[in-house]
Structure 1
Amino acid sequence: MSPEIGHYALVLALALALIQSVVPIWGAKQADAVLMGTAGPVALGQFAFVALAFAVLTQAYLVSDFSVENVFLNSHSAKPLIYRISGVWGNHEGSMLLWVLILALFSALVAAFGRNLPLSLKANVLAVQSWITVAFLLFILKTSNPFTRLSPAPFEGRDLNPLLQDPGLAIHPPLLYVGYVGFSMSFAFAVAALIDGKIDAAWARWVRPWALTAWMFLTAGISMGSFWAYYELGWGGWWFWDPVENASLMPWLAGTALLHSAIVMEKREALKVWTVLLAILTFSLSLLGTFLVRSGVLTSVHAFAVDPERGVFILAILVVFIGGSLALYAWRAPMLKQGGIFAPVSREGALVLNNLFLTAACAAVFVGTLYPLALEALTGAKISVGPPFFNWTFGPLMVPLLVVMVFGPFLAWKRGDLYGVAQRLTWALGLGVAAMLAAYATTSGGPVLAPVVIGLACYIIAGSLIEVAERIQLFRAPAATVWSRAKGLPRSAWGTAFAHAGVGVMLIGIVGETAYRQELIVQVRPGQTVSIAGYDLTFEGLFPEEGPNYRDVVARLQVGEGGVPAGVLNPAKRVFTARNMPTTEAALKTRGVSQLYVSPGDPAEDGSIALRLFYKPMVLLIWIGTLFMVFGGMLSLSDRRLRVGAPKPAARRAVAIEAAE
């Protein structure tokens, strides 16, 4: 397919987006069902044209059409197939096209499956969503056209950034973008509701599936990015408080608060104003992340663009959407009726406290990330805010949040019994204390508070399990009754338990990796053996290897454990021939949930090489915990109660019988 087809498809998508952004909302204002009904078909057509443009760009990468500038700059004919595909979004222009594709996909999903939505709300939601699409389609067509031609066409491409030629980077950006863009639906629902002036429990239930979907994908995307940085960048860390890492963490924190706030609104019709504000702020933080990555204000391994024109354009988008939505909120929010009243000690109170800590933590990350940029813009002074700031501001806010997180599900709505909940959590507290004492007894070195945090993590996991055990009457009722209650327990309850337990599992991994890891930097010669954490590593020498588009110098290490051979590790220094850019390929050996990590330095002329060795106890629990969280989100999303207005099977049968008669 000709790249010009992709360009024209984007122009046609822009035309449909302009129609979708005006006609349905005018129809809602005039109560004209025909005009409101145009939103659905137009949204589907818009998605079809954007999908066509994305397919055209993908084909250009697959066939190595170097007459397309974007393909020339980011591909190579010798590149493996998976990286030709991932190269489509491994650059600024292609990633923005993926961004808009996901945006159009969410609109199409609302158009196709939003049959239970009131017609006016659906029309307004799709119109607001289309406003965002118009802005980003204009941005692509004006500053970031992925279909620009080169004449004459080069014979060969410059290849993709070597750091991005990794399976993790093939998966990480799409997951992250679905999370970022998914929160646009919450934003669209919030703005549409403010336009209508009507927000109730049904609105919260309509918002929750979209917010939960975005949260799940954002969680998975952040986790995948963390794991990629851990094994690919060669420095052995899983989080560095990089500004662009923080840009993904902020909407995740706000989105987590939004999910919990929506629960209160759905159950008790309380926190309406707060829930709407969180929906606006969460997507606003997603837009902020887009600005940080693409404006050139930051230098990062995550950054795509350094063109000031692009930065100004995205800044204008931020001002319009964030400023406009907050102005609408300031105008309409006072008119919204408040919901039910609740006591401070209640499930609502616990969720409010949860929200306060999450938003305070988000504010701390926001200040630490943007303060250096603001200071440089105002005074020209350059400062950096490093991990110590975030550790000492973010960490203390998380501890009380984690304690409250366990209590919340046990408290009753409207008014709870704090003493009764404490009694029910006695076993969880006891297990936490036992885990803390066991950690003190079995570990040496490390921060003195590390065993306390391990105890807290075990308390969280046990509390999550006890909450489910009590609801199904485990050990208190006959097995048949327990099984029946377990099957009848709402999936959202199972999802909450898995997600909360996942936080505890992740916390154990974080403590194990940061507090008890061992590190050794050595220069080794062939035949030399070094030891770390009970492992003996014998360096056999350096061996050159050839890849499809790179050359490796592999350091081969025989690994022994207790005098018994335990495998081979092959860390390497890799040079990609097209860009002549070196990368570090770390080697990992897994034992249970712990890992031996070897990162090589540059080889010396005498055949020796510098090695950085790590032993990372329980490190894999970090990402296993996030998988638990995502799985919990999937269980909650599958809960029938989130499908508003879906009739029960019995009701459907009754309707069918009546129609037949």
Structure 2
Amino acid sequence: MIGEVGHFALALAFAFSALLAVIPLIGVARSHGGQMAIARPLTYGMFFFTLISFIALVWGFLVNDFSIAYVANNSNTALPAIYRFTAVWGSHEGSFLLWMLVQASWAAALAVFSKRLPLVFAARVLAVMGMIGVGFYLFMLLTSNPFERTIPLIPVDGRDLNPLLQDPGMIIHPPLLYMGYVGMSVAFAFAIAALLGGRLDSAWARWSRPWTIAAWVFLTLGIMVGSWWAYYELGWGGWWFWDPVENASFLPWLAGTALMHSLAVTEKRGTFKSWTVLLAISAFSLSLLGTFLVRSGVLVSVHAFASDPTRGMFLLGFLGVVIAGSLLLYAIRAAKVQSHSRYDLFSREVLLLGNNLLLVTATMVVLVGTLLPLVHQQLGLGNISIGEPFFNEVFMWLTIPFAILLGFGPLTRWKRQKIAELRSSLLLAIALAVGLGFALPWIFADVVSGLAVLGLILAFWIVFTTAAELRLRVASREHKWPALVKLGRSHWGMVLGHLGFAVMIIGIAVVQNYEVERTVRMSAGDTATVGNYQFHFRSMEDRQGPNFTSESATFVISREDGREVDTVVSEKRFYTVARQIQTQTALQVNPFRDLYIALGEELDDGSWAVRIHIKPFVRWIWAGAILMSIGGIFSISDKRYRLRRKNEKRARKQAAAEAL
């Protein structure tokens, strides 16, 4: 019964999305306020029935309803309850239902918080969200129904969840990533609504910007958690592999970062309008492209979901409709998109445009590097591989000018800036950055790596130019340093975002150039020395888990002088139902390094292959991403957005009182 309830609720959600896509636009065309106003109730209905459908699938997992094929394929009676819940989005059909719940949630949030928007514009935005929903609901109902039945051959037990997904990272990574992916549809909806109305002004950018930043924050955190999860779960010891599915999430992040900065220029200076619209279309289109790559079967990856060509063709068609339709609309309306602002060659506008061009270049590099092997294979030209060395080399050369411009940007004024006014601040920042960049590796490392020095110089350049910008702002205020407290949250968001990027560069530069890795043969009682640490293999024990058996190796980590650091456990798990082996890494961490132990294969003589890493500053990569996300949250909560909502709410109440 629960399967029928979920399926029927999904069909009703599709019906509401179809009505949402049509009725408000008819109301706009007829200037009918009632038909435009119905957009919000339709949005709430779409969200409500999607939520009911999702709850039905969750209930099916919690009660082990193996009459639902999706539950039978991704759960088991021995699976712990928390993983029965996360198994809801553990494979293609359920994960797409989560995707649709996130989509409906963004639309419902728009309906709640868009009351300050003009009715016509809000109706268009919600109608575009309805159109997107129509395509996705059809995709689910026609090709990816999570409520298909196993009747009459109902299995006694399920096949179990993929062992890779039986991890706490599964709880938070997909929801965060989907919030970011799908959130880009909001920026897209604002852009299309503005094009439909022929009104691309600073007001549109101001309305769209908080939603875009929110989606970017979720996407940043989702990618960060995914990197951390893969780091310790897969046992490879890397934090980023340039896997095609990783690239699929990185593409909309790059475009979204460019869009976020372009919206700031459009909002404050009324320029870059065409560029901003194209970035909004591109960010969402790249999200759809990522969905196609992950769910069509064209990629072979540990992250990929499905291999059904029917699904792939549907998604490819939907992607084509979205891109072609939005670009056609843009071409029709392009003549009305004009910018009248003037600015000198050395100004904040030009620097932001330069960084945007670098971000778009990086996006194209990742896109071509990801798709070229697929196209090459489909054309029958054989297999080619574009992997980590290519991406690392290209991104290094793109990061250098990007970081330099990022340091200049906050110091420069809008329209024009005299370089002489910044000479002393820039020279001091350069001197400090170069000095520290060379000094720290020379003091703390055995070997001075040129690439590490370059990364540190770029990171410190961003840090010191950001500090210089704050100092200049304080110097222009009457009360000096207390003036820092009065800076807007949006400004502090920019500061934290830039500092977070600098922290991330430090982490990447150090771990990439000073990581120590060794694979050693060890038996119980053996000791291996790696770097400045000793790793003593104390014992091997057999353990029984809820749905797996485990061979657990206990290691005692000590310093060279014999002082004990910690005792850690690395496991080799065998999942009895799935018949798969999974490595659980052992980690001993502090803010400045990770000690990483992964138990490999058992060798013929009873010893084990053990992979040991010393990874300095690797956690600074994720700390930088968190700091950037906090900066985004600060920007969203800026008082100019909060005060505008309060003023508009007060005006509506006053107008209602006068009407009475």
TM-score (norm 1): 0.96
For residues 399-455 of structure 1, the C-alpha deviation after alignment (integer angstroms, 9 at most, x for no partner) is 101110111111111111233234223333232112112134132346423212112
Q: Which structure 2 residues correspond to residues 121-136 of structure 1 after superposition, within 5 A? A: 121-136=121-136
Residue 112 of structure 1, CA deviation = 1.2
What's 2:93 paired with? Answer: 93
What's 2:553 paired with? Answer: 555
Given that 2:73 and 2:160 are in contact with CA atoms closer than 8 Å, whether structure 1 keeps it comes out as yes
Greater shift, 420-429 or 28-37, is seen at 420-429
2:601 counterpart of 1:599: no
What's 1:463 paired with? Answer: 465
Given that 2:504 and 2:620 are in contact with CA atoms closer than 8 Å, whether structure 1 keeps it comes out as yes
Residue 654 of structure 1, CA deviation = 11
Cα distance in 2 for residues equivalent to 1:193 and 1:592: 46
Cα distance in 2 for residues equivalent to 1:469 and 1:7: 60
Number of equivalenced pairs: 657
- Given the superposition, is the C-alpha separation of residues 30 and 654 from structure 1 closer, same or farther in structure 2, using an over 3 Å criterion? closer
Letter in 1 for 2:182: V
Residue 606 of structure 1, CA deviation = 3.9
Letter in 1 for 2:307: V
2:157 counterpart of 1:159: no
Greater shift, 586-595 or 428-437, is seen at 428-437
- Given the superposition, is the C-alpha separation of residues 473 and 116 from structure 1 closer, same or farther in structure 2, using an over 3 Å criterion? same
Q: Which structure 2 residues correspond to residues 200-279 of structure 1 after superposition, within 5 A? A: 200-279=201-280
Given that 1:572 and 1:584 are in contact with CA atoms closer than 8 Å, whether structure 2 keeps it comes out as yes
- Given the superposition, is the C-alpha separation of residues 554 and 378 from structure 1 closer, same or farther in structure 2, using an over 3 Å criterion? same
- Given the superposition, is the C-alpha separation of residues 303 and 650 from structure 1 closer, same or farther in structure 2, using an over 3 Å criterion? closer
Q: Which structure 2 residues correspond to residues 300-379 of structure 1 after superposition, within 5 A? A: 300-379=301-380
SS of residue matched to 2:645: coil
Q: Which structure 2 residues correspond to residues 469-508 of structure 1 after superposition, within 5 A? A: 469-473=471-475, 482-483=481-482, 485-508=483-506
Letter in 2 for 1:104: A
2:451 counterpart of 1:453: no
For residues 621-656 of structure 1, the C-alpha deviation after alignment (integer angstroms, 9 at most, x for no partner) is 010010100000010011122358324599779969
SS of residue matched to 2:294: helix
What's 2:570 paired with? Answer: 571
Cα distance in 1 for residues equivalent to 2:600 and 2:448: 27
For residues 554-606 of structure 1, the C-alpha deviation after alignment (integer angstroms, 9 at most, x for no partner) is 11111111211222121111111111100111111113321111111122354
What's 2:66 paired with? Answer: 66
Letter in 1 for 2:138: L
- Given the superposition, is the C-alpha separation of residues 412 and 577 from structure 1 closer, same or farther in structure 2, using an over 3 Å criterion? same
What's 2:516 paired with? Answer: 518
Given that 1:220 and 1:630 are in contact with CA atoms closer than 8 Å, whether structure 2 keeps it comes out as yes
Cα distance in 2 for residues equivalent to 1:660 and 1:376: 68
What's 1:437 paired with? Answer: 438
What's 1:75 paired with? Answer: 75
SS of residue matched to 1:449: helix
SS of residue matched to 1:571: strand
Given that 2:587 and 2:594 are in contact with CA atoms closer than 8 Å, whether structure 1 keeps it comes out as yes
Cα distance in 2 for residues equivalent to 1:308 and 1:362: 27
TM-score (norm 2): 0.96
Cα distance in 1 for residues equivalent to 2:246 and 2:236: 16
What's 2:531 paired with? Answer: 533
- Given the superposition, is the C-alpha separation of residues 97 and 337 from structure 1 closer, same or farther in structure 2, using an over 3 Å criterion? same
Given that 2:216 and 2:256 are in contact with CA atoms closer than 8 Å, whether structure 1 keeps it comes out as yes
Letter in 2 for 1:619: V
- Given the superposition, is the C-alpha separation of residues 259 and 606 from structure 1 closer, same or farther in structure 2, using an over 3 Å criterion? same
Greater shift, 615-624 or 380-389, is seen at 380-389
SS of residue matched to 2:298: coil
- Given the superposition, is the C-alpha separation of residues 606 and 449 from structure 1 closer, same or farther in structure 2, using an over 3 Å criterion? closer
2:287 counterpart of 1:289: no
Letter in 2 for 1:439: L
- Given the superposition, is the C-alpha separation of residues 651 and 2 from structure 1 closer, same or farther in structure 2, using an over 3 Å criterion? closer
Identity percentage over the alignment?
46
Given that 1:180 and 1:214 are in contact with CA atoms closer than 8 Å, whether structure 2 keeps it comes out as yes
Cα distance in 2 for residues equivalent to 1:414 and 1:78: 65
- Given the superposition, is the C-alpha separation of residues 68 and 651 from structure 1 closer, same or farther in structure 2, using an over 3 Å criterion? closer
Letter in 2 for 1:106: W
What's 1:612 paired with? Answer: 611
Cα distance in 2 for residues equivalent to 1:455 and 1:439: 10
What's 1:115 paired with? Answer: 115
- Given the superposition, is the C-alpha separation of residues 547 and 272 from structure 1 closer, same or farther in structure 2, using an over 3 Å criterion? same
Greater shift, 159-168 or 444-453, is seen at 444-453
- Given the superposition, is the C-alpha separation of residues 339 and 71 from structure 1 closer, same or farther in structure 2, using an over 3 Å criterion? farther
Letter in 1 for 2:129: Q
For residues 255-291 of structure 1, the C-alpha deviation after alignment (integer angstroms, 9 at most, x for no partner) is 0000100001001100101000000000000000000
Letter in 1 for 2:292: F
- Given the superposition, is the C-alpha separation of residues 432 and 37 from structure 1 closer, same or farther in structure 2, using an over 3 Å criterion? same
What's 2:3 paired with? Answer: 3
Letter in 2 for 1:266: E
SS of residue matched to 1:645: helix
For residues 141-186 of structure 1, the C-alpha deviation after alignment (integer angstroms, 9 at most, x for no partner) is 0111001111232111111110011111221111110100000011
Given that 2:441 and 2:449 are in contact with CA atoms closer than 8 Å, whether structure 1 keeps it comes out as no
For structure 1, the 5+ residue unaligned runs are none
SS of residue matched to 1:303: coil
- Given the superposition, is the C-alpha separation of residues 96 and 606 from structure 1 closer, same or farther in structure 2, using an over 3 Å criterion? same
2:150 counterpart of 1:150: yes
What's 2:43 paired with? Answer: 43
Given that 1:446 and 1:516 are in contact with CA atoms closer than 8 Å, whether structure 2 keeps it comes out as no
Letter in 2 for 1:84: R
Given that 1:545 and 1:554 are in contact with CA atoms closer than 8 Å, whether structure 2 keeps it comes out as yes
Greater shift, 600-609 or 143-152, is seen at 600-609
Cα distance in 1 for residues equivalent to 2:22 and 2:6: 25
Greater shift, 357-366 or 533-542, is seen at 533-542
Residue 473 of structure 1, CA deviation = 4.1
For structure 2, the 5+ residue unaligned runs are none
Cα distance in 2 for residues equivalent to 1:462 and 1:128: 44
Letter in 1 for 2:523: R
Given that 2:411 and 2:468 are in contact with CA atoms closer than 8 Å, whether structure 1 keeps it comes out as no
For residues 348-387 of structure 1, the C-alpha deviation after alignment (integer angstroms, 9 at most, x for no partner) is 1111011010001111111111111112222342111111
Cα distance in 2 for residues equivalent to 1:398 and 1:308: 38
- Given the superposition, is the C-alpha separation of residues 377 and 606 from structure 1 closer, same or farther in structure 2, using an over 3 Å criterion? closer
Cα distance in 1 for residues equivalent to 2:430 and 2:478: 24
Greater shift, 213-222 or 366-375, is seen at 366-375
SS of residue matched to 2:88: coil
Cα distance in 2 for residues equivalent to 1:463 and 1:243: 35
After superposition, the CA RMSD in angstroms is 2.1
Cα distance in 2 for residues equivalent to 1:228 and 1:32: 51
- Given the superposition, is the C-alpha separation of residues 473 and 167 from structure 1 closer, same or farther in structure 2, using an over 3 Å criterion? farther
Given that 1:341 and 1:414 are in contact with CA atoms closer than 8 Å, whether structure 2 keeps it comes out as yes
Given that 1:509 and 1:619 are in contact with CA atoms closer than 8 Å, whether structure 2 keeps it comes out as yes
Residue 105 of structure 1, CA deviation = 1.0
Q: Which structure 2 residues correspond to residues 576-655 of structure 1 after superposition, within 5 A? A: 576-604=575-603, 606-643=605-642, 645-648=644-647
